[in-house]
Amino acid sequence: MKIGVVGAGAWGKNIVKTLHELGVLAGIAEVGAERRHEFREQYPVPVVGDPEELVELDLDAVCIAAPAPVHHPLAKMFLLEGIHVFVEKPMTLSVSEAEELVDLAEQGSKILMVGHLLLYSPAVQFIKDFIEEGNMGQVYSLNHERLNHGRARKVENVLWSLGVHDVAVCLYLAGQSPTKVHSFGQCMLQPTIEDDVRLVIEFPNGTTGNVHSSWLWPSMQRRLTVVGEKGMLVYDEVAQTVVFHRKGISSDLANWNDGEETVFEGTAPPLTLEMEHFIECCQTGQTPISDGRSGLDVIKVLEMACASDSPRMEGIAVG
């Protein structure tokens, strides 16, 4: 496998390092001259300023970690060249752009994979299996918190920048398409870019997804709480632990509590697992966990959540 990387900034440099360690890094395209100089000293591969120059390297695949507004044109260019594409989240900034990329990948029989990193976390895979094995009974709600004193964006709001992780996990764990999406966002730093967003996703089986995203928060909180008929599951993303609380409220409204147990603990690097999965899919043709169509589903939710013309996002019905 020969894989190139477009965009080697704050996150892209991690993809570069991982692909190098996996022995498949074949080229880097980076607009920053200083970073290009650093990478030429670190990696024995061509380092260029223009992504189009990577096409000449006879690549099998490319990973795009450039800013979100250029995801669509870059992914389109490489797919048209017959090159497998991994594109970081958000896949695109509109449903129409995402649909075009999915169509191009399918028409050309190429892999299109989206960088929904958390889907490759062993803890999330454990939770998926735990739910599907019936340990939670009916799942009432999936509650996601991604809060931090983080880096504000000028183009995409906090839901598109940070909440996209949790929307992807929510859809993956629910295993269904939403029936309704409601949202509320608050613009505090810029007139039309929401810094704090609360999103509610309703599913056909009665499960509700709740996502709270903010980059204007005093401390880091990254947590998923699954509330179910047979108990409650808490995934602390920072500590990398999953705790099962055997407690709830019975049909006669009596509280019950049978204690708690740490059912998973581990820190396997999800980026390495994600890149290994991408390589395997390119080599075998298997469908990625975060394929283009699942990425499109995420963009649909994000676009519907932000469909209001006013800075304050309104509830939008789906279907």
> What pLDDT digit, counting tens, does each position of 129-174 carry?
999 999 999 999 999 999 999 999 988 899 998 999 999 999 999 9
How far is CA 203 from its chain centroid? 19
Q: Which of 115, 141, 156 is the last residue of a domain?
A: 115
Whole-angstrom distance, CA of residue 199 vs CA of residue 167? 9
The reply to whether 147 and 235 lie within a common domain is yes
Q: How confident is the model at residue 310 (pLDDT cuts 50, 70, 90)?
A: very low
- pLDDT for 307 beyond 90: no
CA angle 215, 220, 221 (to 5 degrees): 100
Domain boundary among 80, 115, 150: 115
- Residues 248 and 256: their CA atoms lie apart, in Å, by 6
Same domain, 93 and 123: no
| pLDDT at position 266 | 84
**172 and 306 part of one domain:** yes
Confidence of residue 312 (pLDDT cuts 50, 70, 90): very low
Tell me what the pLDDT averaged over the chain comes to.
93
Identify whether residues 166 and 308 lie together within a single domain.
yes
Q: Quote the strand ranges of the chain, DSSP E.
A: 3-6, 25-29, 47-48, 61-64, 84-88, 112-115, 139-149, 180-186, 196-202, 208-214, 216-228, 231-236, 241-249, 255-265, 316-317
Q: What does the pLDDT average to over 278-294?
A: 97
Instruction: Give 53-81 pLDDT, tens digit per residue.
Output: 999 999 999 999 999 999 999 999 999 99
Q: Which residue is associated with the tokens 């990254």?
A: 222
Residues 144 and 227 grouped into a single domain:
yes
The answer to whether position 288 is within a domain reads no
**For the segment 166-203, what is each residue's pLDDT rounded down to a tens digit?**
999 999 999 999 999 999 999 999 999 999 999 999 99
Looking at residue 25, which CATH number applies to its domain? 3.40.50.720
Q: How many domains does the chain divide into?
A: 2
pLDDT of residue 245: 98
Task: Decide if 53 is inside a domain.
Answer: yes
Instruction: Name the domain boundary from 115, 135, 155.
Output: 115
Considering the domain architecture, whether residues 35 and 138 belong to the same structural domain is answered as no
The total number of residues written for the chain in this structure: 319
Q: What is the DSSP string of 162-182?
A: IIHHHHHHHHHHH-S--SEEE
Residue 17 and residue 130 in one domain: no
Radius of gyration over alpha carbons of the chain, in Å? Answer: 20
Its domain, for residue 77, covers 3-115
